[in-house]
């Protein structure tokens, strides 16, 4: 695509709005689809998204719409809807775009499918890419430096179309062809961020959080490699990089949810009251079931699933700490068992 063509963004939550703002920062025209009519009206009339990203004064090149037909002529569309509605929204497109860039992080409940599988069924004919990495929406919207993974199933040819259209001076994509790895990193880190929030809410200290990040990364790696992801991808921006960011700040919705759970709030009340989606809460039960079915040890993910289902957070953490002692690496564990 030409680096001046209009680009589409589906989903006007905080992350979708931030991506639209970043893309429009050099004068490019961006069409931003929003579900809520009041969001469409506010963006077009006031240049703001008061519901999801009130801090940003939006660029004049952004035009909001509530009609997916307005994106029909576009060759590249970024999809930033909640993961659980991605397939339903994409099914409403009048024409599959040439390039579909998935920016939603999660696993589909009920099917266990990654978003790229959902997108292939809902938008046949589109070349799929995944954009993922350590990104807080308000920082991207403010033009602060950000680096991400852009994983292209179409390889270098697709990368050469998309990278110039997406890259900006403060927004730097790095190439990968590992779509599975990019997706798994983003999905699993959301669940682990809830766990780190629980640690914060229980006031268990920085040592505990650092250990949880390291052991959580080991779970991400085991799960990812079992599903065909490359370890190098998961060690990069869309895996370890995203994990470290999301597990360290209340700017993360998933971390904030976990912190509230650790402080004693109920999961049901928190989820019912949240306008913005903490994707990890939807991903945790699916991920826990997939891991169990494949015999993949993911005790931290299982613990988050239990807490979200109502288990006492302190008891769950105590049970984690009481697990049998073992080696840190898989190779050393095999030596001990031998």
Active site residues: 189
Nearest 5 degrees, angle CA 172-CA 157-CA 121? 95
User: What does the alpha-carbon distance between residue 180 and residue 160 come to, in Å, rounded to a whole number?
Assistant: 20
- Number of other CB atoms surrounding residue 248 within 10 Å: 18
CA 179, chain centre distance (Å)? 13
Element (H, E) at 338: none
Residue 157 CB burial class (10 angstroms; 0-12, 13-18, ≥19): exposed
- Number of other CB atoms surrounding residue 149 within 10 Å: 26
Whether residue 54 contacts residue 178, with contact meaning beta carbons closer than 8 Å, is answered with: no
Residue with tokens 């110039």: 164
CA dihedral sign, ordered 197, 199, 200, 202: positive
- Number of other CB atoms surrounding residue 6 within 10 Å: 18
Instruction: Mark 304-334 as b/e (b = at least 16 C-beta within 10 Å).
Output: bbbbbeeeebeebbeeeeeeeeeeeeeeeee
Instruction: Provide the β-strand partners of residue 77.
Output: 8, 100
Tell me the CA distances in angstroms from 148 to 98, 130, 133, 160, 224, one per residue in order.
21, 10, 4, 16, 19
User: What does the alpha-carbon distance between residue 10 and residue 89 come to, in Å, rounded to a whole number?
Assistant: 9
Cβ contacts of 164 within 8 Å, gap of 6 or more: 3
Residue 110 CB burial class (10 angstroms; 0-12, 13-18, ≥19): exposed
């Amino acid at each position: 695509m030409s680096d001046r063509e209009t680009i589409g963004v589906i989903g006007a939550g905080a992350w979708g709005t931030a991506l639209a703002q970043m893309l429009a920062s050099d004068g490019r025209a961006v069409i931003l689809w929003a579900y809520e009519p009041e969001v469409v009206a506010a963006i077009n009339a006031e240049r703001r998204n008061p519901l999801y990203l009130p801090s940003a004064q939006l660029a004049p090149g952004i035009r909001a719409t509530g009609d997916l037909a307005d994106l029909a002529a576009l060759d590249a569309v970024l999809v930033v809807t909640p993961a659980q509605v991605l397939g339903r929204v994409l099914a409403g497109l009048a024409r599959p775009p040439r390039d579909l860039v998935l920016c939603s992080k999660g696993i589909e409940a009920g099917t266990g499918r990654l978003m790229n599988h959902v997108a292939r069924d809902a938008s046949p004919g589109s070349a799929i890419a995944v954009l993922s990495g350590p990104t807080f929406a308000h920082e991207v919207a403010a033009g602060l430096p950000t680096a991400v993974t852009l994983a292209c199933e179409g390889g270098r040819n697709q990368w050469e179309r998309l990278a110039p259209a997406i890259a900006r001076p403060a927004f730097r994509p790095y190439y990968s062809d590992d779509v599975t790895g990019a997706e798994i990193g983003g999905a699993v880190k959301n669940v682990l961020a809830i766990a780190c929030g629980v640690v914060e809410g229980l006031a268990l200290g920085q040592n505990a959080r650092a250990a949880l990040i390291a052991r959580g990364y080991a779970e991400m790696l085991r799960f990812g490699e079992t599903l065909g992801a490359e370890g190098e991808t998961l060690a990069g921006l869309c895996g370890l990089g995203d994990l470290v960011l999301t597990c360290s700040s209340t700017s993360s919705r998933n971390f904030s949810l976990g912190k509230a759970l650790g402080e004693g709030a109920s999961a049901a009340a928190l989820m019912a009251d949240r306008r913005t989606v903490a994707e990890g809460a939807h991903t945790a039960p699916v991920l826990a079931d997939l891991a169990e079915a494949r015999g993949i040890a993911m005790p931290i993910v299982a613990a988050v699933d239990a807490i979200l289902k109502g288990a006492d957070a302190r008891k769950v953490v105590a049970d984690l700490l009481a697990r049998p002692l073992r080696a840190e690496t898989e190779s050393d564990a095999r030596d001990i068992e031998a």
